[in-house]
Amino acid sequence: MHNDRPAPLLETRWADCEEDVRDAQRLRYRVFAEEMGARLAPPDGTPPGLDADRFDPFCDHLLVRAVDPADAAKAPGPLIGTYRVLTPEAAARAGGYYTDTEFDLAPLAPLRGRALELGRSCVDAQWRSGSVIMALWSALGQYMVEHRLDTMIGCASIGLGDQGLEAARLWHRLCRTHLVEQRWRVAPRVALPLDAHNASDADGDADSDMAPPAPPPLIKGYLRCGARLLGPPALDVAFNTADLPMMLRVDDVSPRYRQHFFGVDA
């Protein structure tokens, strides 16, 4: 028996009410707390089952929903992906970027006036496909154009299920090929330990039987677009992750992605 029901459509839009933001925070809770085991510490008064922090009220929240074409007029569809973004003006009101809490961003001072921070990116486990990520990034690209911004900064997280071995080895591998020039490099406030054992593994020494790790899909996507590492990873104890600081400047975006995300004239 064939299922003739049309495939869900991906609807991308920005949150425009408190319930939209709550939906994003519920998805974040499911991914970060229930799936990844993060120990969240939301502000007092936050309802249970939400991932919230002090930056949320200052951010714009991007939402991707799976819409059933047959019921599009009846229901908005489940939320399957989200990002939050913090503009330079909003960051000034918030007292800085979230990334400031993990890294000393002083070297980026000349860029901050036109730098957007990306954060809290997550996709529902059943929807982790390229199409959802592309939908999110297309909306982010248009947002950059509309707000006349030319730089994205943020952290890309790697789980610490192996006590940080993969994250350290990945850093040692990528810092040779994807590290920004010296003037933009930032330092973590609490650094992930990067011992000699991890370094030798990443070097691919003859004595090592471990191949250099491949970047996780999200980091791989960033690098493919033209993103660069800003420095070594920070240790995020609450989220049980190593966070790599990353920056993507519009001028560095590869031509194929520049046209797709920012338009021909970007």
Give the tens place of pLDDT for each residue, 233-254: 999 999 989 999 999 999 898 8
pLDDT at 196: 45
Question: How would you classify residue 124: left for phi > 0, otherwise alpha for psi between -120 and 50, otherwise beta?
Answer: beta
Q: What percent of the chain is modeled with pLDDT above 70?
A: 88
What are the residues whose beta carbons fall under 8 Å from the beta carbon of 135, sequence distance 6 or more? Answer: 10, 12, 64, 81
Give the tens place of pLDDT for each residue, 100-118: 999 999 999 999 999 999 9
- pTM recorded for the entire structure: 0.88
Which of 5-14, 183-192, 202-211, 214-223 is the most confident on average?
183-192
Could you list the beta-strand ranges (E) of the chain. 9-14, 60-67, 79-86, 103-104, 115-123, 151-159, 187-188, 228-229, 234-236, 241-249
* Angle of CA points 49, 52, 56, to nearest 5°: 145
Residue ranges covered by each domain of the chain: 9-262
Helices marked H in 124-265: 130-146, 165-174, 196-203, 217-225, 255-262
Give the tens place of pLDDT for each residue, 104-161: 999 999 999 999 999 999 999 999 878 888 899 999 999 999 999 999 999 999 988 8
pLDDT band of 265, cuts 50, 70, 90: low
pLDDT band of 68, cuts 50, 70, 90: confident
Nearest-angstrom CA–CA distance, 137 and 143? 10
What are the residues whose beta carbons fall under 8 Å from the beta carbon of 110, sequence distance 6 or more? Answer: none
CATH class of 9-262: alpha beta
Listed residue (150, 44, 55) closest to 99, CA to CA: 55
Residue type, 96: G
* Average pLDDT in the chain: 88
Nearest-angstrom CA–CA distance, 37 and 143? 32
The more confident residue out of 70 and 5 is 70
DSSP 113: G
